Chain A
Amino acid sequence: MSDIVIESLRVGFTGGRSDHMVLDSLDLVIDAGETFGVIGPSGCGKSTLLRVIGGVERRWSGHIRLFEHSLAPRERFVGSLRRTVQMVFQDPYASLHPRHTIERALAEPLQVHHVPQPVRVAHEALEEVGLPASLARRYPHQLSGGQRQRVAIARALLLKPRLLLLDEPTSALDLSTQAGVLNLLNRLKAIHQMTLILVSHDRGVIAHLCDRAAIMAAGRIVRLVDRSELSED
């Protein structure tokens, strides 16, 4: 029984003379524990796909099942469903609130979900991604790009999600910083036993991290790529 099933997913803007479909009858099946990649040029809809799965984009039609949850369009994610799926965004500066300290960025979600001792857990989360706990007092603009992205990863892991979505997590980083973050992701996915869906325009990144991948263009999946083909990249 596959754990993530997407059928006939459509996201689009209708109106006027032409319908513009961002996602056009997309079908996808992913197994639990897999690291699944999505490659495509800009504008192919891969980010929108992630945002739909993450519950950020709620105007869609079709059928989506995430583990035991069956999703309904326009439905807000609450409770255990909300905790099950988390996302790491592309631009590390834009995904951390510029006026909140790192400590607040990490402790607040814990408080909202009634996790005891949120500050201590927040500091542990920082250490897990290789950052010193002293960073907690700082603001995002005082951190480097690589450090911010590690904070974003730490934040995404706070609620112990089963599915982690990554939207071009290293595109904004230098090669050597990217290497460190990719190593971290490899390690964490094994420790936390998560399913990963990773979107990137960089075939090298996909080939390094993923077991399987889908190539997207113009809102559709053009073909699926397996491990042997990826290892040629």
Chain B
Amino acid sequence: MSVHTAAARFGVVIVAMFLVVSLAAPWIAPFDPLLQEIGDRLQPPSLHHWLGTDGLGRDVLSRLIYGTRPTLALAVFVAVLMAPIGMTLGILGGHFGGWIDRVLSGLTNIVMAFPQLILALAFVGALGPGLPNVALALVLTGWPAYARLARAETQLLRRTDYIAAAQMLGIVGPRLLFGHVLPACVPALRVRLALDLAGIILAAAALGFLGLGVRPPTPEWGTMVAEGGKVVFDQWWIAAAPGTAILLASLAFNCLADGLRDRTA
């Protein structure tokens, strides 16, 4: 992947760093993230605990490191489901037109009319907290944007010579849709996805903050911010560390998306 701007390079580096950290967590983290030492609670950053300890005496740095896992896992899970589902529906509607398109467009518009976070809240409220449910909620509320994009791209592509040429050669049906139309849609959707990932991280953190994310005591940045919020004026590091991590991750994905968009353009 060619990265022209400093911003895009920054994005790639940070995302790669998070990936490495999440994979190597057991070896990098200085402490067990679940280990509680009540005697050592609410300690400020020191040489022993680089980012201090939280209300239950757990090492903030270790929890931060392990916290990359649910965040990235969620991002990947959502991306892997949301884009393909949306794209498939969009391509089907854009290609066939007629009543298929009307039904799918109607469905897209209805889901799109709801604010995503509120709808996700409702889903998680109904299904119960936990990572898979959060992911599912975000997928079910996030696919319409991709359907719309894919539908527009497909309709544009109908006019291109290479699709007409493929049809003339007898290439029709799923082979045409997934072998020819889909690959041509991918560049536009790739940029959208990278941008969305930033938003997904924020959405997941928000849900975690509200207590609807990963079950405690598993470390997750949103939940950590919530816990730290209670003591933010005296022990600021407990909320500041995960907050900065969320900021950094979101920023990195945004920069990555910018780089991808410039490259696609």
Direct A–B contact in the complex, CB atoms closer than 8 angstroms? yes
Chain A residues whose C-beta falls within 8 Å of the C-beta of B166 in the assembled complex:
97
For the complex formed, measure the closest distance between the CB of A161 and the CB atoms of chain B, giving whole angstroms: 10
**Given contacts A87-B165, A89-B164, A155-B165, is CB(A97)–CB(B170) below 8 Å?**
no
- Contact among A56, A94, A113 with B162 in the assembled complex (CB-CB below 8 Å): A94
Q: Report if B171 contacts A (CB, 8 A).
A: yes
A88 to chain B, nearest CB (A): 9
Name the A residues within 8 Å of B161 (CB-CB).
89-91, 94-95
In this complex, the interface size class of chain B, counting residues with CB under 8 Å from chain A, is 10 to 19
> Does A95 contact B162, Cβ atoms closer than 8 Å?
yes
Cα A112 to Cα B168 with chains together (Å) = 12
Check if B180 sits within 8 Å of A54, measured CB to CB.
Answer: no
- Find residues 173-217 in chain B having any chain A CB closer than 8 Å to their own CB: 175, 179-180, 183-184
Asked if A109 meets B164 with Cβ closer than 8 Å, knowing A97-B180, A97-B184, A99-B183, the reply is: no
In the complex, the chain A residue whose C-beta lies closest to that of B164 is A56
Interface residues on chain A, number (Cβ under 8 Å): 30
User: B140-180 interface mask toward A, CB cutoff 8 Å, 1 = contact, 0 = none?
Assistant: 00000000000000000000111011111111100100011
User: Does A189 reach chain B (CB closer than 8 Å)?
Assistant: no
Main secondary structure of the interface of A (DSSP, over half): loop
Q: Is the CB of B184 within 8 A of A108?
A: no
Whether A96 and B162, one on each chain, are in contact in the complex, defined by CB atoms closer than 8 angstroms, is: yes
**Nearest chain B CB to A5 CB, angstrom units:** 21
Q: Which residue of B lies closest to A86 (CB)?
A: B168
Query: Among the interface residues B160, B164, B183, which one has the most CB atoms of the partner chain A within 10 A?
Result: B164
Select one of A76, A82, A89, A113 contacting B165, CB under 8 A.
Answer: A89
Chain A 52-71, CB within 8 Å of chain B: the 1/0 string?
00111000000000000000
Question: Given A91-B161, A95-B161, do A112 and B169 touch, yes or no (CB 8 Å)?
Answer: yes
B residues less than 8 Å from A214 (CB atoms): none
Q: A94, B160: Cβ atoms under 8 Å? A: yes
Among B112-158, those with CB < 8 Å from A are none
Q: Give the A-binding residues of B (Cβ under 8 A).
A: 160-162, 164-172, 175, 179-180, 183-184
